[in-house]
């Protein structure tokens, strides 16, 4: 059986090089995921490869095999009718694993319905659960909240999320995520905390607009910001508000949000995730 040496601990001082110490015991890990497209599957395979862990896919009995709009319409119908889709039985014996990595795409602000079906069928009490997800703009935080409610007796650990537009960042980010969590040994750089936010300057507003301007589901204005240095660049945390909606708009309700923007050295700004309040 494949094994994973797991160490759970805090990072060393901010922006200092840290290394993970050996775990006191070996714990067995399973990566289990649902993926409609290849995005979540790509992250799942990367995690499993780094950990040398077992991996299994959640498969819908009736696959969501339509295009984007067809999937949205079916999902909305199921939500309105309170339907949880059927999934095929998994083959893994969950009792043999100490750590479960759960992967899913974000639909309507939380994990996709097939993952909901899986969580309704299993009991992960006493296990360490590490969520990871892919999304258009965000949803990691809200899905973790739902996961904790669905599995109240599991230990939900910090998760990893990546935009579908940033899949080229998965290898480096998964490596850093696993090292920071103590799942694999190795050196990594721990970023300092964001300082107190201040009013957005004209230059910072341009960075925000450049990062979100091409994303059709967000029409917002940055109000305040904080910045910190990260490997190869600068990360910004903007507090923004939705601008007035056009009549008939399908965008989400107006409100405040936090938008994380990364500017790597020599590259254009890109937002990495949105957290709506």
CATH number at residue 71: 3.40.50.360
42-53 average pLDDT score: 97
Mean pLDDT across the chain: 87
Query: Is residue 213 scored above 60 in pLDDT?
Result: yes
Among 143, 161, 189, the domain-final residue is 189
In this structure, the answer to whether residues 65 and 149 fall within a common structural domain is yes
Please indicate, yes or no, whether residues 259 and 124 belong to a single structural domain of this protein. Answer: no
In this structure, are 39 and 154 located in the same domain? yes
Is 70 found in the same domain as 178? yes
Confidence class for position 5, pLDDT limits 50, 70, 90:
very low
Which is more confident, 205 or 82? 205
- 157 in the same domain as 28: yes
Tell me the residue length of the chain.
277
Mean of the pLDDT values across residues 218-241? 94
| 71 and 183 belong to one structural domain | yes
Query: Are 209 and 146 contained in the same domain?
Result: no
Average pLDDT for residues 140-168, to the nearest whole number?
A: 97
- Confidence check: pLDDT of 251 > 60: no
Say how many domains are in the chain: 2
User: For residue 80, what pLDDT is reported?
Assistant: 85
pLDDT value, residue 7? 37
pLDDT of amino acid 242: 86
pLDDT at 146 over 90: yes
* 38, 163: one domain: yes
Assess whether 170 and 206 both reside in one domain. Answer: no
11 and 114 part of one domain = yes
Note whether 122 and 94 are same-domain residues: yes
Q: What is the mean pLDDT of residues 132-155?
A: 97
Percent share of the chain, pLDDT over 70: 87
Cα–Cα distances (Å) from 65 to 23, 31, 35, in that order, read 42, 23, 11
Q: What is the mean pLDDT of residues 127-143?
A: 96
- Asked if 179 and 186 touch (Cβ cutoff 8 Å), the reply is yes
Predicted local distance difference test score (pLDDT) of residue 190: 87
Does the structure show a pLDDT above 80 at 275? Answer: yes
Last residue of a domain, one of 189, 207, 238: 189
Instruction: Clarify whether residues 46 and 157 are in a common domain.
Output: yes
What pLDDT score was predicted for residue 260?
Answer: 98
Last residue of a domain, one of 189, 217, 239: 189
Q: How confident is the model at residue 84 (pLDDT cuts 50, 70, 90)?
A: confident
Domain that holds residue 60: 4-189
pTM: 0.85
Position 20 pLDDT exceeds 70 = no
Q: Which residues pair with 13 in a beta bridge?
A: none
Q: Is the dihedral of CA 55, 105, 115, 97 positive or negative?
A: positive
Q: What is the torsion angle, in degrees rounded to the nearest 10, for the CA atoms of residue 115, residue 52, residue 42 and residue 211?
A: 100
**Tokens linked to 31:** 């990566």
Helix (H, G, I), strand (E, B) or coil at 133: strand
Residues 6+ apart with CB under 8 A from 4: 26, 27, 28, 29, 51, 52, 53, 99, 183
- CB 204, CB 219: distance < 8 Å: no
Res 83: pLDDT: 84
pLDDT at 6 over 70: no
Least confident range from 69-83, 199-213, 229-243: namely: 69-83
């Amino acid at each position: 059986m494949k094994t994973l040496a797991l160490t759970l601990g805090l990072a060393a001082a901010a922006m200092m090089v840290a290394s993970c110490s050996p775990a006191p015991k070996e714990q067995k890990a399973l990566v289990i995921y649902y993926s409609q497209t290849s995005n979540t599957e790509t992250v799942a395979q990367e995690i499993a490869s780094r950990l040398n862990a077992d991996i299994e896919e959640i498969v819908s009995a009736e696959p969501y095999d339509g295009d984007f709009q067809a999937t949205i319409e079916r999902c909305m119908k199921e939500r309105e009718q309170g339907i949880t889709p059927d999934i095929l039985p998994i083959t893994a014996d969950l009792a043999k694993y100490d750590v479960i990595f759960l992967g899913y795409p974000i639909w309507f602000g939380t994990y996709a319905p097939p993952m909901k079906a899986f969580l309704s069928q299993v009991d992960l009490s006493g296990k360490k659960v590490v969520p990871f997800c892919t999304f258009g703009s965000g949803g990691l935080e809200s899905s973790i909240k739902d996961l904790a409610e669905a599995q109240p007796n599991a230990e939900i650990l910090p998760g990893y999320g990546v935009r579908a537009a940033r899949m080229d960042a998965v290898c480096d980010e998964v490596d850093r995520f696993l090292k920071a969590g103590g799942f694999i040994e190795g050196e990594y750089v721990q970023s300092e905390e964001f300082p107190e936010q201040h009013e957005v300057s004209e230059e910072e507003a341009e960075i925000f607009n450049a990062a979100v301007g091409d994303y059709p589901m967000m029409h917002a204005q940055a109000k305040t910001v904080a910045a910190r240095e990260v490997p190869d660049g600068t990360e910004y945390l903007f507090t923004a508000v939705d601008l007035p909606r056009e009549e008939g708009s399908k965008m989400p309700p107006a409100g405040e949000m936090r938008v994380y923007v990364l500017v790597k050295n020599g590259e254009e700004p890109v937002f990495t995730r949105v957290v709506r309040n």
